[in-house]
């Protein structure tokens, strides 16, 4: 079963990569961008057939390793 973990900086945490992307987009003529937040996506291929168990396992992985709970939040999708 596939699980996708999306990790983003929490609101209020400075995102220098997002600011750099926003600036670069502006220099390329994309003037309608107000703000950019950059994150990461981790795709997991799990040996689990039960979606609820796969989600729980991916969430546990995110809490323990994939996301820094102090400054990052995460979302898990299972397919």
Q: What's the pLDDT score for residue 62?
A: 98
Q: Global pTM?
A: 0.90
Q: What's the pLDDT score for residue 66?
A: 98
Contacts 24+ apart (CB under 8 A), 72-77: 72/7, 72/8, 72/9, 72/10, 72/13, 72/39, 73/7, 73/8, 73/9, 73/10, 74/5, 74/6, 74/7, 74/8, 75/5, 75/6, 75/8, 76/3, 76/4, 76/5, 76/6, 77/3, 77/4, 77/6
2-78, which class in CATH?
Answer: alpha beta
Once rounded to an integer, what is the mean pLDDT over residues 51-56? Answer: 98
Q: What's the pLDDT score for residue 37?
A: 97
């Amino acid at each position: 079963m596939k699980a996708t973990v999306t990790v983003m900086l929490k609101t209020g945490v400075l995102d220098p990569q997002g600011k750099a992307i926003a600036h670069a987009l502006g220099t390329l003529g994309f003037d309608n961008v107000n703000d950019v937040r950059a994150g990461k996506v981790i795709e997991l291929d799990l040996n689990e057939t039960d979606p609820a168990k796969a989600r729980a396992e991916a969430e546990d992985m995110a809490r323990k390793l994939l996301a820094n709970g102090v400054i990052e939040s995460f979302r898990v999708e299972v397919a």
